[in-house]
A and B are shown apart, each in its own frame.
Chain A
Amino acid sequence: MRITDPRGRSLLAAEYVLGTMTGRTRARFELWLRSDPGLRKEVAAWQGRLEPLSGTAAELKPSDRVWRGIAARISAGSAARESWLGSLAFWRGSSFVSAVAAALMFGYIALTPKDHALTPDNAMVVVMADDQSKPAMTVAWTPQQQGKPRLRIRVIGHKQMEPGTSWELWMLPGENQPPKSLGLITTHDTQYVEVPPEMKAKLDQAAGLAMSVEPERGSPTGLPTGPVLYSGNRLEI
Chain B
Amino acid sequence: MMDSADSLDDLMARCALRDQRAFAELYRRSSGRLLAVAMRIVRRRDGAEDILQESFVNIWNHVTEYSRAKSAPMTWMTAIVRNRALDWARRPKHETSDEDVMDGLIENWEDDTPGPAQRLQQAGEAGQLTDCLRELSGQQRQSIALAYMHGLSHSELADHLGEPLGTIKTWIRRGLEKLRGCLEARNAA
Partner of A19, one of B27, B57, B147: B147
Question: What does the 1/0 interface line of B17-28 toward A look like (CB < 8 Å)?
Answer: 011110110010
A14 with B180, Cβ < 8 A, contacts A53-B149, A54-B149, A60-B35 known: yes
A28 to chain B, nearest CB (A): 15
A120 partner residues in chain B, CB cutoff 8 A: 1
Question: Would you call A148 an interface residue if the criterion is a C-beta within 8 Å of the partner chain's C-beta atoms?
Answer: no
Partner of A237, one of B19, B41, B177: B19
Contact B27 A54 (CB under 8 A): no
Question: What does the 1/0 interface line of A38-72 toward B look like (CB < 8 Å)?
Answer: 00010010011111111111111111011101110
Q: By DSSP majority rule, is chain B's interface helix, strand, loop, or mixed?
A: helix
Q: By DSSP majority rule, is chain A's interface helix, strand, loop, or mixed?
A: helix
Contact B39 A60 (CB under 8 A): yes
A15 partner residues in chain B, CB cutoff 8 A: 172-173, 176
Contact B57 A54 (CB under 8 A): no
A120–B53 CA distance with the chains assembled, in angstroms: 31
Question: Would you call A7 an interface residue if the criterion is a C-beta within 8 Å of the partner chain's C-beta atoms?
Answer: yes
A7–B178 CA distance with the chains assembled, in angstroms: 12
Contact B78 A54 (CB under 8 A): yes
Contact A57 B40 (CB under 8 A): yes
Closest A residue to B149 by CB, please name it: A53
Interface size range of chain A in the complex? 35 or more
A11–B19 CA distance with the chains assembled, in angstroms: 38
Interface size range of chain B in the complex? 35 or more
Question: Would you call B52 an interface residue if the criterion is a C-beta within 8 Å of the partner chain's C-beta atoms?
Answer: yes
Closest A residue to B31 by CB, please name it: A62
Question: What does the 1/0 interface line of B142-171 toward A look like (CB < 8 Å)?
Answer: 001101110111100100000000000000
Question: Would you call A74 an interface residue if the criterion is a C-beta within 8 Å of the partner chain's C-beta atoms?
Answer: yes
B84 to chain A, nearest CB (A): 11
B71 to chain A, nearest CB (A): 5
B-facing residues in A1-59 (Cβ within 8 Å): 7, 10-11, 14-15, 17-20, 22-23, 41, 44, 47-59
- Contacts A11-B176, A67-B31, A74-B23 aside, 12 further interface pairs with beta carbons under 8 A come to A11-B177, A18-B148, A41-B70, A47-B71, A48-B75, A50-B129, A51-B74, A53-B120, A53-B148, A60-B39, A65-B49, A76-B18
Residues of A within 8 A of B (CB): 7, 10-11, 14-15, 17-20, 22-23, 41, 44, 47-63, 65-67, 69-71, 73-76, 120, 125, 127, 235, 237
